[in-house]
Amino acid sequence: MAYIETLLSDILVTLKSVGVLVSLLLIIIGGLVYGLAQLQPGDTRGKWQNMAIGIFVGGVVIAAIIGAAELIQLVSSNLLT
């Protein structure tokens, strides 16, 4: 049982260190793509905007998971004991 708790703690540390960078990059890239979408003709603008919003939302979801990572780890370790 101790091995699983150690594994979950290691996953938490990895999420916190890598996830913040990935989240910020996705949010910034989403904003840049949305801005570039405004320069496109009308028939392709919607595709670019859709992709940009998807990238932005992905960054926000990753940030929410990172914010709740400690709570997720705590609840999951209590379920195993």
For the stretch 22-47, pLDDT in tens is 999 999 999 999 999 999 998 899 99
Domain count, the chain: 1
Phi, psi of 71 (to 5 degrees): -65, -40
Average of pLDDT values for 7-13? 81
Q: Say if 7 falls within a structural domain.
A: no
Mean pLDDT of the region 55-63: 94
Domain that holds residue 34: 20-80
Domain contains 67: yes
Q: What percent of the chain has pLDDT over 70?
A: 96
Burial state string for 19-29 with b = 16 or more CB within 10 A and e = fewer than 16: beeebeebbee
